[in-house]
């Protein structure tokens, strides 16, 4: 039987700060990928924001969890991330994320995007249209929140939105599953709603890179 996740008792946390960047000197093509770095050792279970050049951009704007830190050898694993087919590493950094901002006013959430564009590759020799896949569309998170201008989470979202800054996000479901991603939030704090209903405000996040799911 599959483990069912529900939109109930979900905890949403947003990045409040980033630690000083670790310089990445190498990432292995392995499952999981192993990072070699210089700088302050992270801890097992930390989440890091990766900004990696090369590896087919698979680890650009990527949030990952740290495992099996080897302080003596200055390496750690990217938990549950298989880098076998990611291509050649060039350079990169990793920053430990502090998820210190709680978002506790969301009413509904929808994830969309990520589908590849369909490119018509039909020739005059074909009798059936030929389709190739192109770049994936940007992923987007959208929804509504309760309008509370004094709420610290909404204030932080609007501040990031106004400055054009991107932030890391972590969703923790009641069954312990987690989903992490990095994106640019939009939160105008505009008021919407209808008669005799609660006042709401729209929330949106354009995801940069791809998210990562963890089962614990």
- Amino acid 2: pLDDT: 87
The residue ranges of every structural domain in the chain are 17-98, 101-123+134-214
Q: Note the pLDDT tens digit of each residue in 117-175.
A: 999 999 999 999 999 999 989 899 999 999 999 999 999 999 999 999 999 999 999 99
- 185 close to 154: Cβ distance less than 8 angstroms: no
Q: Note the pLDDT tens digit of each residue in 32-41.
A: 999 999 999 9
Q: Note the pLDDT tens digit of each residue in 69-115.
A: 999 999 999 999 999 999 999 999 999 999 999 999 999 999 999 99
- Amino acid 79: pLDDT: 98
| 173-203 exposure pattern, b = at least 16 Cβ within 10 A, e = fewer | beeeebbbbbbbbbbebeeeeeeeeeebbbb
- 156 close to 181: Cβ distance less than 8 angstroms: no
Strands 22-27 and 34-38: antiparallel
Q: Which two tokens stand for residue 89?
A: 């590493």
Q: What CATH architecture is 101-123+134-214?
A: Irregular (4.10)
Place of tokens 């989440």: 47
| 153-163 exposure pattern, b = at least 16 Cβ within 10 A, e = fewer | bbebbbebbee
- 4 close to 98: Cβ distance less than 8 angstroms: no
- Is the pLDDT assigned to residue 193 strictly greater than 90? no
Q: Which two tokens stand for residue 104?
A: 């506790």
Quick one: pLDDT band at residue 1, thresholds 50, 70, 90? confident
Distances in Å between the alpha carbon of 7 and those of 12, 148, 171? Answer: 11, 21, 10
Give the containing element (helix H, strand E) for 157: helix 152-163
- Amino acid 78: pLDDT: 98
Q: Which two tokens stand for residue 103?
A: 């978002």
Enter the pTM of the model.
0.92
Give 17-98's CATH code, choosing from 2.40.30.180, 3.40.50.720, 3.40.50.2000, 3.50.50.60: 2.40.30.180
Q: Note the pLDDT tens digit of each residue in 6-26.
A: 999 999 999 999 999 999 999
Average pLDDT of the chain is: 96
């Amino acid at each position: 039987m599959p483990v069912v996740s529900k939109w109930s008792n979900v905890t949403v946390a947003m990045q409040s700060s980033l630690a000083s960047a670790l310089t990445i000197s190498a990432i292995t093509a392995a499952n999981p990928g192993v990072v070699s770095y210089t700088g302050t050792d992270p801890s097992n279970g930390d989440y890091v924001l990766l900004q990696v050049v090369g590896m087919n951009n698979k680890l650009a704007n990527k949030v990952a969890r740290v495992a099996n830190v080897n302080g003596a050898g200055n390496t750690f694993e990217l938990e549950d991330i298989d880098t076998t087919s990611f291509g050649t590493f060039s350079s990169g950094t990793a920053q430990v994320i502090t998820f210190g901002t709680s978002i506790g006013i969301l009413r509904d959430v929808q994830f969309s995007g990520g589908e590849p564009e369909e490119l018509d590759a039909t020739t005059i020799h074909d009798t059936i249209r030929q389709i190739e896949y192109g770049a994936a569309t940007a992923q987007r998170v959208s929804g509504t929140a309760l309008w509370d201008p004094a709420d610290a989470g909404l204030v932080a979202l609007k501040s990031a939105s106004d400055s054009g800054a991107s932030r890391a996000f972590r969703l923790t479901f009641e069954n312990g599953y987690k989903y992490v991603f990095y994106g640019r939030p939009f939160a105008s704090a505009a008021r919407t709603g209808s008669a005799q209903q609660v006042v709401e405000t729209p929330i949106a996040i354009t995801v940069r890179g791809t998210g990562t799911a963890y089962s614990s």
